[in-house]
Amino acid sequence: MNSIENLSVQQLRRIVNLKEKIEALENKLSKLVGSTAKPVAGEAPKKRRKMSAAGRRKIAAAQKARWAKVKGRKSAAKPVKKARRKMSASGRAKIAAAARARWKKAKAAGKNSL
């Protein structure tokens, strides 16, 4: 095989053209088949999802608590508790009223279930 230093300008251009054609065909093949061909160097890899800072803190606190438990001492960091969602009294009353209405209708129809 010839060294790149010994190639003429025309030969180098033909090599570049062939390389570009190969890359274009690989791109078409990957689109048709579903990326069985190797990725092209010019394409950027898919971006990964990022975890929120709060999520990282929760994981770190849980890991510290696990290690503290393994080492036999009291928890170094308390795990962060999830905040519970609270329903308003009016919302709860509306749901209860709707359930009573459904049951009334079902009982009137002579059925035991909804």
Q: Is residue 58 classed exposed, middle or buried when 0-12, 13-18 and 19+ CB atoms within 10 A define those classes?
A: middle
CA angle 73, 82, 98 (to 5 degrees): 150
Q: Where are the domains of the chain?
A: 4-33, 54-79
pLDDT per residue as tens, the chain (114 positions): 557 778 888 888 999 999 999 999 998 888 888 765 465 566 677 777 788 999 999 999 999 999 988 888 655 566 667 778 889 999 999 999 999 999 999 999 886 555
Is the whole-model pTM more than 0.75? no
Angle ∠(58,62,67) on CA atoms, nearest 5: 150
What values do phi and psi take at 74, rounded to 5? -65, 150
